[in-house]
Each structure stands twice: as structure tokens, then as C-alpha cells.
Chains A and B, each alone.
Chain A
Amino acid sequence: MDALTRRALGTVPRPADWGARLRWLADRHGGRVAVILVVAYTLYASSVLGFTPARFWVGLTHGGVFLGRLFPPDFATRWSDIQFDMLESVEIAVLASVVGIAASLPMGLLGARNLMPAWITWPVRGVISVCRSFHPVIVGIVFVKAIGFGPLAGVLTLAVASVGFIGKLFTEAVEEISLKQVEAVRATGASFPNVLIFGVLPQVTARFVGFSTYQLDSNLRNSTILGIVGAGGIGGTLFAAFQRFDYNIVCAIVVIIVALIMVGEIVSEQVRKLFQ
């Protein structure tokens, strides 16, 4: 007797077709099931973390007091410190972007599976995803230990973050290029560097510039907090102001940071448009 006959005779129990049952459930009641699951999870997780409405209300009244203490912003008292550290934050962001962009151009090419053999792409992709996985503050802690306090640790930290972000997106962009142009260049007998320069890079330059300006934005944002772990920039002053309950100074610093980031966003938008 073969398996089919045995199943037809009922000697072998028919396997429950869970896939089909789940699919039916998802088609019929998918939305409702999802909502119930989300609500149940929210209640469960809130109870695990100890959120209670009472705590929330107490927090909101504190929030009112806190907001009152933030205003008016006090720009004057520590103006020279703020100015110096803000400038340092910008410098960290600029240098980290340059180093990170310079490093991620070759990394992105080496990680592209349509250009390189697997024994090169896998290690490179591994490095890129490790760079991306750690929050800059964690990388910052390690670099501060290795190099000591100061902006250099911040530059290297954000360079690592830049490699993680641009490297990944650039690798994907290179993998999406049209191979026809590459083949055409190769057919003329061009060397490998020439194939890269004339066949591959022209197809991805605009996107690379786009990623780079996004990363400059992102580095600017992150360079304002690295000071919390001693890696230079405005974050140190901000954190110190918080710990001394100088909320007026905190407010001033945050206002300056927001203004700076808005300006950075506008500038990078313009640069992206120019290179499209």
C-alpha cells in the first residue's frame, strides 16, 4: 500500500492544514484580529512596564511646571560655551561625513553582488551591517574609551554610522544598475577600473549624492548628542545644563539645535535638487 491509499483508507490521520486555516482567518477577519492583538499587546506591555493612568496624570502636571521653567530661554549666560560647542558639533558632522562618504564609496562597490565575488561581498556587507546596527552613542562610548574625550571620537563615531547607512543604500543602488551599459563598456576592452568609472558610477552618482546629503543631515542631528558620552559637541553642555536644572539654558540650546537642523535640511534639499 502506498501512502495515498493508506491516507484514503483513514489509517493515517490527515494532517491539519494550518496554512489554509490561517489564510482563511487572515482573509476573513485579518483586520479585526490584528486590532485585537495590538490592543492586547498594548495592555500587556503597559502593565509590564508599569504604566498607570495615575502616573501619566502626575507626569502631565509635572510637565506644566517643567514647561514653565524652560521659558524664557537664556541665551546669554553661557553664550561663549554654546557658540564654541555648536561650532564643534558642525565641524564633527562635516568631517565625519567626508570620512564616512569617502569610506563608503569603495565599501558600497565591494559589497555589490553583481560586481564582486561572494567571498568579498559577504565580509564587506557584514561590516556595513555591524556599523549600522549600533546606535552612534554606543559606538561613541567605545571610541571615547579608545581615543579619549574630544571631538575626534565624535568624528570617528559618526564616520562609522555614515558607512553603515550610505554603504547599505549605495550597495543596493549599485545592485540595481543596468548591466547593459557595463557590458558595453566591457566590450570595448576597458579595464576593470574603467568599467567602474564609465559603466557603473555614472548610473549611481545622483543617488550617491542624495544619500550623502541625507547622511550629512543625520550626522548633524547626531553630533548634537554625542557630547553626552564625552565625544565632543554641544551635547556635553546640554547634558550638564540638564543636570544642573538650568532649564532656561537647555531651552536656548534646543532652540539653536532645531534652528541649525532646519537650516541643514534646507541646504541639503537644495544640493540634492542640484545634483538630480
Chain B
Amino acid sequence: MSQVGTGIAREWRRFAPRERMGRSAVYIATVLAVVLSIRSIQIIPEFLRDTPEQIADLLVRMWPVDWRFLVSAAVGAMIETIHIATLGTLATLVLAFPLGVMAARNIVANPAARLGAKLLLVASRSVNSLVWALFFVAVFGPGALAGTVAITFRSIGFVGKLLGEALEEAAPGPIEAMVAVGAPWPSVFLKGYWPQVKPAFFSILLLRWDINVRESSVLGLVGAGGIGLVLDSAINVFQWRAVAAVLVMILVVVLLAEVAVTWLRKRVI
């Protein structure tokens, strides 16, 4: 009886040694990164000292909010912003679909094609929409076209990646059944895969539209159309009261877009 458990001191631990070491490494790396960053980042204390005064000054200059500016200049630009976001998302629908399908492991067997699709998706995601906008302003000239194409190019990676993952998670049962009865590939895709990923796909697209409304509000800063242009010029001439009005309008539109997306996802999808 007394031999049970003797010899080996057993102690329960939650994680395996490798996990524990990995976690410790993450903690140490985090602390190291933070310390190094704080030591080498350039912060000018003089600037920091008068921050509260500067913020107070900014708020005073913004008051009273110049609502009339909205009617005279900003509402049209805001509508243009929404058009840019929506058209960009619709173009994404067309372009991200084939790439997302190509990136799914269970659909495309050819590793080269899959790698190609994944590389395109990663490249699209890694370049910020403002940088895409800079590119397309150089290509198409300043205006909403550049902004729309920039939004599209940034969204392809996001939608395509998530669509690919949704396709990879599709239940194999219905697909095997269809293959077993000799269904041609288009039927397998349309009746096997598509119904399974359709809600996810539209939900991803709606989510991206929401993000795109937010992102297209700044594209004007680099000349790609929309409300950003109005905001930039108001800031450049220090019309802070107009800036405040534009900021409030952006806030309202973005919140409304979010509410609309939440509602649509609940009701329609």
C-alpha cells in the first residue's frame, strides 16, 4: 500500500514544459520589445507638457460647430464616400471570389495555383488602403475612381482569405455524396459548397463594407475622392468649426453603417 506513489514526486501542472517555455519566451520578448521601444522612440518632452492646453485650445476652436458647412460642402462628399465604399465592395465581390476559391485546399489540388492565389491575397492585405490609393492616384489621376479601385484592392485579400477559410471548413459529407453519384464539378460547387459558405460569404462582405465606409473617409487625404478631401482642406485652412461638423457627420454615418450591417446580418443572413 505504501509503495503507491513513492519514488516519483508527482506534481500537477497545467501546461507541458514546451508550452511553459514558449509562454515565458513570449513574455520575455514582449517586455524586451517594450523596453527597447521606450528607450529608442523619440519623444520630445516640451511637446508633451502643453498637451492639455493644446487639446483644450482645439476644442475651443471647434465650438460652436459649423453645421451649415455640412450642407454647403460636406454632404455631397459624404455620399461620394459611401458610393466609393459600396462600389469598391461590389467589385471585390467579383474579384475576391475566384481567388478565395483558388486558395481553398479542399477545392484546388494544384499547390502552385493555391500558392499563387494565397500570395496575391497576402499582398493585397499587406498594403494599406491609403498606400493603394497613392498608387492608383498615380495611375488614374486624383478622384473617386482611384479611391474605388484602392478600396477594391485592399478588400480582395480580406474577403478572399476568409472565403477560402470558410470553404476549407465546409462539411465534406454532402460533397462526397455528390461526387459519389457522379455530379460534374460545377454542380458540386453550386449545390455542395456554395450553400454551405453563402451566409459566411455575404456576412464577410457586409463586414468589409462597414470597414470600407470607415476607410474611404480618409482616402481624400491623398487625393482619392470623398469626404477626406473636404476634411483635409478644412484642416489646412484651420477651419476647426467645419472640421468638427465633418467629424460628427463621419461618426454618425459610420455608426449608422454598423447598425445597418448588424441588422442585415441578423435578418437577412
B126, A262: Cβ atoms closer than 8 Å: yes
A194 nearest CB across to chain B (Å): 20
A152, B130: Cβ atoms closer than 8 Å: no
B145, A66: Cβ atoms closer than 8 Å: no
Q: In the docked arrangement, what's the CA distance between A222 and B215, Å?
A: 11
Q: Which of B38, B131, B247 contacts A134 (CB 8 A)?
A: B247
Of the four ranges (under 10, 10 to 19, 20 to 34, 35 or more), the interface on chain A belongs to: 35 or more
> Interface stretch among B99-107, B176-184, B189-197, B249-257?
B249-257
Question: Nearest A residue to B84 by beta-carbon distance?
Answer: A49
A35 nearest CB across to chain B (Å): 11
Q: Which of B178-221 contact A (CB under 8 A)?
A: 214-215, 217-218, 221
Q: Does A221 make an interface contact (CB < 8 A)?
A: yes
Q: Which of A51, A133, A238 contacts B251 (CB 8 A)?
A: A133
Contacting residues, chain A, for B231 (C-beta < 8 A): 138
Query: Given A225-B131, A257-B127, A274-B22, do A59 and B139 touch, yes or no (CB 8 Å)?
Result: yes
B140, A62: Cβ atoms closer than 8 Å: yes
Query: Given A41-B86, A94-B37, A274-B19, do A134 and B145 touch, yes or no (CB 8 Å)?
Result: no
Query: Given A49-B148, A146-B54, A274-B23, do A55 and B83 touch, yes or no (CB 8 Å)?
Result: no
B187 nearest CB across to chain A (Å): 18
Q: Does A271 make an interface contact (CB < 8 A)?
A: yes
B83 nearest CB across to chain A (Å): 4
- Interface code A228-268, partner B: CB below 8 Å = 1, 0 otherwise? 11000000001100100001001000100110011001000
B43, A151: Cβ atoms closer than 8 Å: yes
- Interface code A151-165, partner B: CB below 8 Å = 1, 0 otherwise? 110010000000000
Q: In the docked arrangement, what's the CA distance between A71 and B127, Å?
A: 17
Q: Does B90 make an interface contact (CB < 8 A)?
A: yes
B219 nearest CB across to chain A (Å): 9
Question: Nearest B residue to A60 by beta-carbon distance?
Answer: B139
Contacting residues, chain A, for B95 (C-beta < 8 A): none
A242 nearest CB across to chain B (Å): 5
Of the four ranges (under 10, 10 to 19, 20 to 34, 35 or more), the interface on chain B belongs to: 35 or more
A228, B130: Cβ atoms closer than 8 Å: yes
Q: Does A42 make an interface contact (CB < 8 A)?
A: yes
Q: Which of B26, B58, B139 contacts A145 (CB 8 A)?
A: B58
- Interface code A123-156, partner B: CB below 8 Å = 1, 0 otherwise? 0000001100111011001100111101110010
A95, B86: Cβ atoms closer than 8 Å: no
Q: In the docked arrangement, what's the CA distance between A144 and B55, Å?
A: 10
Q: In the docked arrangement, what's the CA distance between A274 and B250, Å?
A: 39
- Interface code B17-28, partner A: CB below 8 Å = 1, 0 otherwise? 001001100100
Q: In the docked arrangement, what's the CA distance between A90 and B41, Å?
A: 10
Contacting residues, chain B, for A91 (C-beta < 8 A): 36-37, 40-41
Query: Given A49-B145, A147-B54, A239-B134, do A59 and B140 touch, yes or no (CB 8 Å)?
Result: yes
Query: Given A66-B139, A150-B43, A225-B131, do A98 and B218 touch, yes or no (CB 8 Å)?
Result: no
B179 nearest CB across to chain A (Å): 26
Q: Does A79 make an interface contact (CB < 8 A)?
A: no
Residue pairs across A and B with Cβ atoms less than 8 A apart, 23 shown, are: A41-B90, A49-B83, A49-B144, A49-B225, A51-B144, A51-B145, A55-B145, A66-B135, A66-B138, A66-B139, A91-B36, A94-B34, A95-B34, A134-B251, A135-B214, A137-B218, A147-B48, A150-B43, A152-B44, A242-B138, A274-B19, A274-B26, A275-B23
Given contacts A228-B222, A274-B23, 7 further A-B contacts (CB under 8 A): A56-B145, A59-B141, A59-B145, A138-B231, A150-B44, A151-B43, A257-B131
The 4 closest A-B pairs by CB, nearest first: A148-B47, A91-B37, A59-B140, A49-B144
